[in-house]
Amino acid sequence: MDVIPHWFFFVAAGILGLELGGIASIFIQRWIDEVPILKPGRSRCPSCLHKLGLTETIPLVSFLWLKGRCRHCNAAIGAQYLLVELACMAWSIAVAYRFGLSPEWGVYLVLGVMLIVGSLIDIETFLLPDRVTLGGTCLALVASFFLENGVDWQRAFLGAAMGAGLFWVLQQGYRLMRGQEGLGTGDIKLMAMIGAMVGVGGLPLTLFVGSFTGAIASLFYTFSSGKDGIHGKVPYGPFLSLGCMVTVLYGSDIMAWWKV
């Protein structure tokens, strides 16, 4: 990091985040459309199915240049693409600031992008892909053996087991008391991934942030027009992911402040 100017590293991190955001957008849309994720060929406009050229697929730049519309049919480009790209860019810069140019930056960058992908899919479909949750769990557990400034492997494995185990107990308890599903199996798998990322010590803060932000969203959803009132469903995955990302970035600082 001493031979690379800080500003250059952060700019590069932002650009890389945008590029990963572009890839993440393709993954999200293809998973929702139930087409092969690794299908070869250029991306297409979802409205007119015209193959997009290179200048139409540059993250952020193309959206601004085209003013949010397809150049061929003038259909509006979903804001989801821009949201995912900006979220990945912001996450890349934030992790770069937290960990510097290190293996931790690379690992948590990829894991965070996976959480963003899972969150957008969960919002759209109320499902969490195994490629995200189980794949992320495996990556986090393997990385725990090598990262010097991350969660060590004992805390990672214990965190994955306790995170998934707690949500499994909640799922079964709700099913017994209410006779219906109140918590999806995807959330259980997601908690295994999150537990592996933050370790057992990071679970309380993750769950607090996730529950607090989820409760606010639920209130907003309940009182918004056009929804099904208190019976409306709110995906929990995005808020658990947010709690995980806050813990990765600021968990140690928050816990140090709390102990003062």
Question: Given this model, what pLDDT does residue 45 score?
Answer: 60
Helix boundaries (H) for 33-102: 61-65, 79-99
Model pLDDT for residues 155-201, shown as the tens digit of each residue: 999 999 999 999 999 888 877 887 777 678 899 999 999 999 999 99
Query: Between vectors from CA 127 to CA 125 and to CA 130, what angle results, nearest 5°?
Result: 140
- For 249, how many CA atoms within 13 A lie in the half-sphere containing its CB? 18
6-32 vs 79-99: helix crossing angle, rounded to 10? 140
Lowest mean pLDDT among 5-14, 63-72, 92-101: 63-72
> pLDDT tens across 38-49, in order?
665 556 666 565
Are the beta carbons of 156 and 196 closer than 8 angstroms? yes
Q: Any idea which of 79-83, 119-123, 125-129, 207-211 has the lowest mean pLDDT?
A: 79-83
pTM for the whole thing? Answer: 0.88
Q: Nearest CA to 142 among 128, 160, 117, 129?
A: 160
- Parse the chain into domains and list their residue ranges: 1-101, 103-260
pLDDT at 233: 74
